[in-house]
Amino acid sequence: MKKIAVFTSGGDSPGMNACVRAVVRGGIYKGLEVFGIIRGYNGMIQGNIIPLQSHSVSNTIQKGGTILKSARSKDFMTPEGRKKAFENIQKLGIEGIVAIGGDGTFRGAAEFYKEYGIPTVGCPGTIDNDLYGTDYTIGYDTAINTALDAIDKIRDTADSHDRVFFIEVMGRDSGYIAIACGIAGGAEIVMVPETLMDSDEVASILQAGWNRSKTSSIIVVAEGDEEGNAQEVAEKIKTLLPNQFDIRVSTLGHIQRGGSPTARDRILASRLGLAAVDGLLAGYKNVMAGVINDQIVFTPFEDTFQKDKPISQEMIEMVKILSI
């Protein structure tokens, strides 16, 4: 193998640039030519592929977002789009690809491999930490620290005004962000898609706290919780406990995706980027590089998005114990 390419796809996450940097410099160190595909699968289809040198990734390890840009590609979901992407890859003599992204990215890579056999190794770049095959994903640590900083600030206001705050964090299908920043932020309740907690139970917990003279509370809600988003849950509680609490809602939104990555995310991204290059050279294909028990592992793409990665029941129990 002489030429490889790297791209980022799907939602951006802090640390993607550190991963791109590691792929570029790791590839050059191993004697490879490295190309960058701009705007993910769209760039592959459009032929927006550029050569990258070591200096191309200088001063990027501390930057959030992605210097290669990102996009969601409907065209790549079609056989015609994938054919065009393959022709552009083949034209440049690219023999292996490093795909940085989440489950959608890996689904596309798996389909591309089935049709054209281009070896691809993925790096898990998503703040949700919901991919099977790795303990942590690139961007997760930064996201929970960003959310935690906001929760700490909101706690000051909640305490000063005797308010109940429903704080919505990202997590359409996963409660990893919610459970981590909920525990670290001392939340009284954490609502995640993985466990059922209805509005009656939330109201009961708040009422019990009120009976213990607790005048302010923080409820962290993952956006994909089965009871609804933070605004919807708050409205239900207002109906169940009318005029008892001063209830407010804060949706943290996309601030969780941005910002300079933490040291932990920079190191994780660098490890996985180098591992992806080594994996390609070792003959791995159609797999994701991850870290389990601090060891590099390679997991088939299909497993990463077909197998569940459940939240630890111990962490869910921690919320209940620590909020009494």
- In tens, the pLDDT along 214-246 reads 889 999 999 999 999 999 999 999 999 998 899
The answer, yes or no, to whether residue 72 has pLDDT greater than 90, is no
Known catalytic residue at 103: no
Catalytic residue among 12, 75, 103, 128: 128
Mean pLDDT is lowest, of 88-92, 194-198, 245-249, for 194-198
Q: Domain 3-139+261-306 classified CATH 3.40.50.1820?
A: no
Same fold, 3-139+261-306 and 143-257: yes
Beta strands in the chain (DSSP E): 3-8, 33-37, 49-52, 96-101, 120-124, 163-169, 189-191, 217-222, 246-251, 287-292, 295-300
* Pair of tokens at residue 313: 């029941």
Q: Is 51 left (phi over 0), alpha (psi -120 to 50) or beta?
A: beta
Question: Could you tell me the residue ranges of all domains in the chain?
Answer: 3-139+261-306, 143-257
166 near 221, Cβ under 8 Å?
yes
The answer, yes or no, to whether residue 93 has pLDDT greater than 90, is yes
- What one-letter code names the amino acid at 208? A
Please report, rounded to a whole number, the percentage of residues in the chain having pLDDT higher than 90.
Answer: 94
Claim: this prediction has a pTM higher than 0.85:
yes
The answer, yes or no, to whether residue 196 has pLDDT greater than 90, is no
Q: Domain 143-257 classified CATH 3.10.310.40?
A: no
292-307: pLDDT as tens digits: 999 999 999 999 999 9
d(CA 88, CA 91): 5
β-bridge partners, 100: 8, 123
